[in-house]
Every structure is written in C-alpha cells, then in structure tokens.
C-alpha cells in the first residue's frame, strides 16, 4: 500500500477504525491474487489523497481478515463498502472506473 492516507483494516481494528468512525469511510475489500483488485488500487489511492480529511479510506485483505469479510457478506472482490457513522450506506462490487467511484464518494459525502 503506497498511500499514507490509507488505513489497513484488520479483524482486530475494524470496529475502531470504521464502525466507530464518526465520518464517512470507504472500505476496499481485496486480495493480492485478485487482478481486478489490483486494477482498482491506483484509483482508491488517488481518492484517498484527493479526499483526505473528508473521507477515511480503509483496505481490508480478505485472506488475512476473514471475519470482517464474512461479517459483511463479501462474496466477490473487489467490493467497496461506504460507511457513514459506522453504517453501510452504499456498496460497489467489481472493478469500476475512478469516475464512478468518485461519483459514489460525492453522493455519500
């Protein structure tokens, strides 16, 4: 993970980082072996930098953190969940162009 604006989400810290977060968070569920996940990663990093201070960006490796993935019923990756005050308000499944992700971010904010 190249961006200093991205938090690594884990089974242990997810509640504190996302569910108890008072603002808006975008959580990227991904895996190292997932081509579409790697394709969408640069857009996620750019969004993290462009929206710093307004949007918390968290990446969760589903292989290393199966409990969080199971809790939210993640079946396909990449899946991006958008949280507002700890509640899921939007979901985007599959690799999407940055433009579509930015539109979703703006709608949630």
pLDDT in tens, 17-61: 999 999 999 999 999 999 999 999 999 999 999 999 999 999 999
Rounded to two decimals, the pTM is: 0.95
The one catalytic residue in 37, 80, 81, 92 is 37
Q: Which domains occur in the chain, in start order?
A: 6-108 (3.40.30.10)
Spatial distance between the Cα atoms of 18 and 14, rounded to a whole number of angstroms: 6
Token pair 């996940």 is at which residue?
Answer: 37
2, pLDDT greater than 70: no
Q: Active-site residue 34, yes or no?
A: yes
Rounded-to-integer distance, Cα 69 and Cα 22, Å: 21
- Which of the four pLDDT bands, split at 50, 70 and 90, describes residue 83? very high
Catalytic residue among 26, 34, 69, 105: 34
């Amino acid at each position: 993970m190249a961006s200093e604006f991205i938090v690594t989400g884990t089974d242990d810290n997810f509640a504190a980082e996302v569910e108890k977060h008072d603002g808006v968070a975008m959580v990227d569920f991904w895996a190292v072996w997932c081509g579409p996940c790697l394709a969408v990663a640069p857009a996620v990093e750019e969004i993290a930098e462009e929206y710093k201070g307004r949007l918390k960006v968290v990446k969760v490796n589903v292989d290393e953190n199966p409990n969080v993935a199971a809790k939210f019923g993640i079946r396909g990756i990449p899946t991006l969940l958008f949280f507002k005050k700890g509640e899921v308000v939007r979901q985007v499944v599959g690799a999407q162009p940055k433009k579509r992700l930015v539109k979703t971010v703006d709608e949630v904010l």
